[in-house]
Amino acid sequence: MAGGGIEERVRAICLALPGATERVSHGAPAFFAGKQFVMLWPHGHHDHDFPHLWCAAPPGAQEGFITMKPQRFFRPPYVGSRGWLGMRLDGRVPWDEVEVLCEDAYRAVAPKKMLAMLDAERLT
């Protein structure tokens, strides 16, 4: 899938979450729910010359994912020390997994009101 396709799919996933917004940060698409929850690098960034995203993650998730699938997940620079998770988006992208990770990232930072809206949507 081309970089534009990746950007469109990640954007659709993130902006489907209640109250999520997008703005450019460091020259790349970034998604916010009060605080930033996903950063997309559709053409790579620094030492990672492949498309990938960085996402907020619940405590312990980063280590678990990297141990389980080191070929897909990594500790991103700058935000990795805060528990964020990096995910490669090259090759066959498991889009269902991207959706889950983006929602988990949203849940890690969103205010209670936004979480209540998401949970209400999930019930209907």
Summarize pLDDT for 12-49 with one digit per residue, the tens.
Answer: 999 999 999 999 998 899 999 999 999 999 886 767 67
**Per-residue pLDDT tens for 89-122?**
998 999 999 999 999 999 999 999 999 999 998 8
Range of the domain at 113: 3-123
Q: In the prediction, which pLDDT does 46 show? A: 67
Nearest C-alpha neighbor of 55 from the set 8, 5, 100: 100
Query: Residue 121 corresponds to which amino acid?
Result: E
DSSP 45: B
Query: CB–CB of 10/17 below 8 Å?
Result: no
Q: Which stretches within 1-124 are classed as H helix?
A: 3-15, 61-68, 95-109, 112-123
State the Cα–Cα distance between residues 100 and 81, nearest whole angstrom: 21
Predicted TM-score (pTM) of this structure? 0.90
Structure tokens at 18: 């209640």
Structure tokens at 123: 């019930």
Is the confidence at residue 50, as pLDDT, over 60?
Answer: yes
State the Cα–Cα distance between residues 79 and 24, nearest whole angstrom: 17
State the Cα–Cα distance between residues 81 and 71, nearest whole angstrom: 20
What's the structural domain count of the chain? 1
- The CATH number of whichever domain residue 51 belongs to comes to 3.90.1150.30
